[in-house]
Structure 1
């Protein structure tokens, strides 16, 4: 991976506009400080991305995927990045299915007609699993801020609060997102979604913790479908329409969530670290 001295190759990939800088550290180790991640993620001074991914060798899976947000923080799961890394490993190995180890658990990826399909693991629904700072009914959390109220809590490897509203487009998510993300009710911070359901399709916008408003959030889409099903607004399978495009989400009977969508290689490059 290291081409000369401190120059490193990377891939730039995206899933519905949620974009990633991906390093392969299997042959040459790579350790990045939070400052280095922020520099690489900066869209004016670095490469620019929502998340930075480091692929590492793994004994019990085809690959280990380390996930860092644009602010340098490490997170357990990222659905769109999992599809991108899944595509890379499917191409590399020639297998019909690959496994990806993350901080949140072991995930599987396969090819699908519309891109890459990934099982994102179980939807965790207990208040202590979100987590929340106090005991709550996670299907109807007692929380209100400027007209947003009673979200559904879902953990898909990272915490989500999904607010159902009359019109997701009308919500000032740029202002309300960071306030909710850092509220004391969410001790590990939280990803914030606003959504409405029309004609069986979930229209969802996402404020991603450590990133901001994002074109697409895979775990957010999974959380949105689970939240809508818990409220009786949809069945256990639906299209989630994000700013960047659609994801097909299904909450399987075993409690895990299947996500299918695009995973695109934009370009490859080199960066001096």
Structure 2
């Protein structure tokens, strides 16, 4: 199971880590933490040293109830930092966390390698055309509504069947455009209650039927810290526990705030599987 990133084939049969780099002031865990260029470059270097394969840059917070960010502001936050990262770390594989086709297009022209779309093209119908034109890996996440409305849209006829139908339709749409490298993300915390998040995690192996890589994004989210009655800052241990379960159920990419710990988790699971799991 491989994806082509800027001419390099990445084998996802061994799980990989995607590090989160938020350029927003209001992200739920690290908003505003990396606000200067040197701080950002330092964090990129740390993630690369800790074993990251991909770095996911976002300039539009998608936390529940986040403020809407105009497209011009998203581009203003994102493009100079993307240029700086690729200038200093030219081999870095950068994913762009955006649902806007214009942001995706301009980022890909600068050298980004992957597009991570929380809406699976629901919020911008031109997104698939941009992905097809550039022939880059495309992460499609399940979301109902928008970041501003999603927590009011948590009612499903059947959670698992609804998500399986959603991805069947979205994968078909992408392949009809001759998009080859598709990654699916069930969207933990997006239009889902805490209980629904755990149902998804418990049945994550069902999504292997699509025979495409599965990305998991649950790092320090409320599904962890609410159960533990703690905070995002205190949720690393719980995150690692759930990453272990996700890997055992078929996750191929862990999207995380804490690269070193996720990389160690993958190494231990690989050793377990190599010895007869």
TM-score computed with the length of structure 2 as normaliser: 0.30
Structure with the larger strand share: 1
Structure with the larger helix share: 2
TM-score computed with the length of structure 1 as normaliser: 0.31
